[in-house]
Structure 1
Amino acid sequence: MRLLEPLEELEKKEEYLRQQVNTLPDEQRKAYFKELKLRLKDPDTYAALNWFFLGGVHHFYLGKYPLFIAELVLFVLGVTGLFLGHMSAGLIILLLVLYELPHLFFSQKIARQHNYEVSCEIYNEVRR
């Protein structure tokens, strides 16, 4: 994830990939779009999951299962600790919030970068 990459740079890479895909033979292009339809993630869904759900569900949506599990476990531990009166457990929650803030504000860009990487993988698979 490259949060500081300018959006224009990502758009240039996406356009270049589109041009490359258009040069594929019909059969490969058809296979590319068929696989792409199955594996692309909607940036709006990712953003909504990021805004409305706790515990890293947006990571699950992108298929980042270890990150989802780690974040969910830390969140549950932090909340449980707070309910049991361990005020230091609030530090876990605070660190999770600080970690998630960039994901929250750059969610559209993160999903587009994910889709670009998936598109490149599919393109390379189809070319073989």
Structure 2
Amino acid sequence: MMNIFESTIQLENKENSLRYQVQALDEARRRYFFDEQSQRVKDPDTYAALNWFFLGGIHHFYLRQYGLFAGEVCCLLLAIITLALGITSGWFLVGVLLLVELPQLFYAQKIVRQYNYNISTKILCEAREKALVKN
């Protein structure tokens, strides 16, 4: 789970620990780790751009957070429909979306670093499991 309030130092310590664990792998498993990591990690700038230009949760889809994506799309569609019908409470929904989206925009780098850390941890587990299968 992403936590925008996690300190950068804590995140860096976790990333450093992961690096040491990857370095301890044998060559084949380390190669597997880096091959998989290069395919699965996400770019923070892409996440931020999607958040900036599309107010509807597309950035959640980019990070494979499909539930959040669906929730924000539904909220946006409901806001558009209510505003189109002349119901002013649609502005409340737009405000809620902005309150949810702005911190995600400002913390995009950290959110994606946390996502990439979580993905890398899963890949490390996969690499270790492959070691158990091969031995």
Q: Shorter-normalised TM-score: what interval?
A: over 0.9
Distance (whole Å) between structure 2 residues aligned to residue 104 and residue 124 of structure 1? 30
Aligned equivalent of 1:70: 71
Deviation at 1:101, TM superposition (A): 1.8
Query: Are 2:56 and 2:72, in contact at CA under 8 Å, matched by a contact in 1?
Result: yes
Q: Report matched runs for 1:1-128 at 5 Å.
A: 1-128=2-129
Sequence identity of aligned pairs in percent?
49
Per-residue Cα deviation, 1:11-42 (whole angstroms, up to 9, x for no partner)? 11111111110110011101111111111001
Deviation at 1:97, TM superposition (A): 1.1
Runs (4+) of structure 1 exceeding 3 A deviation are none
CA RMSD of aligned residues (A): 0.9
Distance (whole Å) between structure 2 residues aligned to residue 50 and residue 108 of structure 1? 12
Unaligned runs of at least 5 residues, structure 1: none
Distance (whole Å) between structure 1 residues aligned to residue 80 and residue 127 of structure 2? 46
Per-residue Cα deviation, 1:84-123 (whole angstroms, up to 9, x for no partner)? 1000121111111111121111011000000000000110
Distance (whole Å) between structure 2 residues aligned to residue 96 and residue 45 of structure 1? 20
Distance (whole Å) between structure 2 residues aligned to residue 17 and residue 85 of structure 1? 53
Deviation at 1:71, TM superposition (A): 0.5
Query: Are 2:55 and 2:101, in contact at CA under 8 Å, matched by a contact in 1?
Result: no
- What number of residue pairs does the alignment pair up? 128
Per-residue Cα deviation, 1:38-84 (whole angstroms, up to 9, x for no partner)? 11001111111111112001000000112111111110110121121
Unaligned runs of at least 5 residues, structure 2: 130-135
TM-score relative to the length of structure 1:
0.95
TM-score relative to the length of structure 2:
0.91
Distance (whole Å) between structure 2 residues aligned to residue 30 and residue 60 of structure 1? 28
